[in-house]
Amino acid sequence: MKICDRLTLGSSLTEENMVFMKQLGVNSITVGFGEKKQNRPTQNYPGIKLLDSPCFETSDLVALREWVESYGLELSGIGSRLFPRYEKILLGQTGRDEQIDNWNKSLRNMGKAGIPQLMYIYSIDAGAKLPIWRTSSENVGRGGTKIVRFNFEVAKKTPLTRYGEISEATLWDSLTYFLKAVIPVAEEASVKMVLHPDDPQVPSLAGIARIIRSTESFDRVFRIMPNKANGMVFCLGCFAQMMDNEHVYKAIKHFGSEGRIGYVHFRGVTGTLKKFDEVFPDEGKLDMLQAVKVLKEVGFNGVVRIDHAPELTGDTEYGHRSHAFQIGYLKGILQGASAME
C-alpha cells in the first residue's frame, strides 16, 4: 500500500511541504482545493489556475502532476471540494447540465494528464461553524492536545440556512442524475470517481439531508451505476463513527472484494456517532492493525492517506508535528501487517 498525505492547492501545497513529505517517506499525495492565500509566491503553485477555471484544464493538470513528480512523489488524485462548481448539481437546479459538462471535461482532461482518481463529497455543509461539521475545537486530548468534537445535541439546534429544507429524495434524485451523466465519462477517461461518506453520518443537519451515511447507501450508489469507475473513499474514522469494529471489518471485506475502494483515510475516533472526538489513530476505538490486515486480505494495494487529527502544542498552521507522527505510525502499522503474513 502507498502512504499518502493531502496538500491543498493555494495554501499547504508548497516546496517546503513537498520536501517534508519526501523526507518522511510518503509515496504519494492527493491535492485538495482551498482559497488562495495572499502574499504567497506563485511559483510554488503549478496549476494554480485550477482554482479559477470552471473545469480542470489539461495543461494545468499536467503542470501540477509533473511538479509533484519532480519531488519523487506520485499524484494519486485530486479532490473536488469547490462547492460552487457543483451546487446546482446537488440541488437539481437549472444550470446543472452546464456544471455536469464542466465536470465531464475535467474527467477527460484528468485522463489525458494521467491523474487516476477524483474524490468528491455529495453533501451541503451549510450551517457548520467549522470547515467540516464539528461543534467544538478547543477540547483537551492526550497531553493537552486540542481535539475537535461533534455533539449532535448541539448540532441539531442549528437553524435553517438559505437552502431551507432539503430532503433525502431530492438529493438521491440529483445524485442519480449526476452519476448517470458522469460515470460513463469517468470510465472512458480511466478515472475513478471516489465518493467520501457524509461526515458526520446523521440523517440531517440544519434541515439538509445527509444521504451517504451507511453501507446500504454506498450499495445504492453502486447499484445506480455498477461501473468500476464508480468508487468510494473508505474513511476508517467515518466507518468507526457509524458502527462497531467488527462491522467496520465486514464493510472493508464487502467493498474491498468488489474493488470499490479507491482511497483509505486513516483516522481515529472515540465515542459514538452522536458524540465523538477526533483523536490520533493509535488511541481511537478501531484496531488499525486489524483494519490494514483486512485490507490486505481483500487485495487492496492502493493509497492510504492520513486524515485530520489533534493539534499539538507549538505546531505549525499546517500541522507538521502531527503529520509526522501520523505518517510514522502508519508506516509502522503497514510494516507490522506485512510481517504478520
- 56 lies in some domain: no
d(CA 84, CA 98): 12
- 62 lies in some domain: no
Query: What pLDDT score does 34 carry?
Result: 67
Q: How many domains does the chain have?
A: 1
- 153 lies in some domain: yes
Q: Are 296 and 337 in contact (CB under 8 A)?
A: yes
Query: What pLDDT score does 136 carry?
Result: 96
Q: Are 89 and 173 in contact (CB under 8 A)?
A: no
Residue type for 187, please? Answer: E
- 258 lies in some domain: yes
d(CA 317, CA 319): 6
d(CA 185, CA 254): 26
- 184 lies in some domain: yes
Instruction: Report residues of the chain scoring pLDDT below 50.
Output: 41-42
Residues facing residue 268 across a β-bridge: 279
- 69 lies in some domain: no
CATH number, residue 227: 3.20.20.150
Say what the pTM is: 0.96
Q: Which three cell numbers stand for residue 21?
A: 513529505
Q: Name residues whose C-beta falls within 8 Å of residue 304's C-beta, 6 or more positions apart in sequence.
A: 1, 2, 3, 4, 263, 264, 266, 292, 295, 330, 334
Report which secondary-structure segment, H or E, holds 42: none
User: Among 334, 336, 339, 320, which Cα is nearest to 1's?
Assistant: 334
Burial 234-245 (b: 16+ CB within 10 A, else e): bbbbbbbbbbee
Pairing of strands 208-209, 204-205: antiparallel
CA 152 from centroid of its chain's CA atoms? 22
Query: What pLDDT score does 38 carry?
Result: 55
Residue 303: domain span: 80-320
Q: Name residues whose C-beta falls within 8 Å of residue 230's C-beta, 6 or more positions apart in sequence.
A: 179, 183, 186, 193, 221, 222, 224, 260
- 334 lies in some domain: no
Residues facing residue 271 across a β-bridge: 276
Residue type for 183, please? Answer: I
- 194 lies in some domain: yes
